[in-house]
Structure 1
């Protein structure tokens, strides 16, 4: 079983590039569970994960859940799992979900049940909040939805002490854009970060299961792609697209990216 201690201190003390080289030969790959059917958005998402994790393509398996059945998936084949954002809305009534979304949710639910049972390294971004929160007994709805923007995220006392957030300032900016959010934490969850309009921006279950409502994988280039692809999807009024571009372009979100590299550093090997 993985422990919250992650890598040996002698490895973590190395500069990031050196630490990654140590594990290049022996590490199991990580997996990115993706569900964006638009190729341009899916490719940009994968490129962003590669860029900010420091992984090579052969070290990050992309699993496009929307394209067909993706389970069973043997967790022993991977160092950890990432779950990317999604156009799916987890909290809408079942009758409004497509057959594709229902299949993905069923398969993903089984996989995350295994993740929870083993406390397997997991980092879910945005859609991860919807899926893990509902599965673990919390409440997700539209109460704290946020339009596409860059917001100030504040670490809690527990967040300041959490190893995954090492090196991240107590206050930093990150991109958001979501129609649902966690309103009630699952039992046993530890709140790690909040924002003014969304009380749950990040939490941890067990020692190794993390979710963020914000998008640490997104930089300005990735955000521009998302805005273009999803401008009519309800994340912001389509007529306001120029204003949205201006406000997100001014944001400095570089500190949010650190989470992805730290996750790899902790669990590779």
Structure 2
């Protein structure tokens, strides 16, 4: 039953980043992600921890194995920085792989899993996906992969990132790409674990995307995506308006979006697929029921 599902939510934002986000949208990345999961699986339990923090918990594989699924949120963390918080986060992800617990990550969560399994991540330079990743398309391997079940031949998705996967680790399968970022979706099999991840953000609402654009105003201007703060506000305002009225076809048309983004059930497809096609079958295989 839904009430029996028990998830571990991993957040790697610094305290300062958490507070900036809370002032912007009322919650940190992990808190927001956990709320999305509770909406998808009413009655599920979500424990949120921050293993990147110096005083954060660092559960071992046997403790992680008590959960039905692990989720890693996005964050400003750069996994190529040799910093204590990065090392702690990667070490934790290796424990997740060792536990055999199915894991899902978006954006920086994907990048942490890649690094933990032996791949590499790099900065994107002048390129950006700010607001939405456009025309994502499955690879040959991704067309029949359950992570992308229900997605059309090409789709857009909420996305905010300045880093990307450079090389995939052994045991990884590329599932989707677009013209900006080659690694948009991937499966990684490493140690005892299976990880499904995406570079975009199926967990984010349009309201959160609008707030992210506003927080990134200086960066968007610096990289030529907006001429000034007023231009950013026009774009963010349109996204915000669509968040409040997702059936506004005029707003969707102006932003170049369709129901893959405006419909919350379609926008969260990868999360639903992960729970249906990996979490629940593995839960049954472990003898924990449905």
> So what's the TM-score if we normalise by structure 1?
0.76
Q: Using the alignment, how far apart are the partners of 2:178 and 2:201 within structure 1? A: 13
Relative contact order, higher structure (CA 8 A, sep 6+): 1
* Match of residue 236 from structure 2: 245
Aligned equivalent of 2:185: 202
Aligned to 1:69: 56
Alignment equivalent of 2:9, drawn from 32, 52, 72: 32
Give SS of 1:157's match: coil
Q: 127, 150, 163: which one pairs with 2:108?
A: 127
Paired with 1:57 and 1:32, the residues of 2 have a C-alpha distance of 15
C-alpha RMSD over aligned residues: 2.8
User: 2:247 — aligned with what?
Assistant: none
In the TM superposition, residue 156 of structure 1 has moved relative to its aligned partner by: 1.2
State how far apart, in whole Å, the 2-side matches of 1:113 and 1:51 are.
Answer: 25
Q: 1:79 to 1:157 in 2, by over 3 A?
A: same
- Structure 1 residue 225: Cα displacement: 2.5
Give the C-alpha shift of residue 76 in structure 1. Answer: 2.1
1:148 to 130, 133, 149: 130
Alignment partners' CA distance in 1, 2:58 and 2:79? 19
- Give unmatched runs, 5+ long, in structure 2: 243-254, 284-290
CA gap of 1:202–1:226, structure 2 versus 1, over 3 A, is same
Q: Residues 56, 103 of structure 1: CA spacing in aligned structure 2 closer, same or farther, 3 A cutoff? A: farther
Distance 1:23 1:259, change over 3 A: same
Please give the TM-score of this superposition, normalised by the length of structure 2.
Answer: 0.71
Which stretches in structure 1 are left out of the alignment for 5+ residues?
1-21, 95-101
Say whether the 8 Å CA contact 2:176–2:184 is kept in structure 1: yes
Per the TM alignment, residue 200 of structure 1 is displaced from its structure 2 partner at its CA by 0.8
Between Structure 1 and Structure 2, how many residues are aligned? 238
User: After TM superposition, what 4+ stretches of structure 1 lie above 6 angstroms from structure 2?
Assistant: none
- Assess if the C-alpha contact under 8 Å between 1:44 and 1:225 holds in 2: no
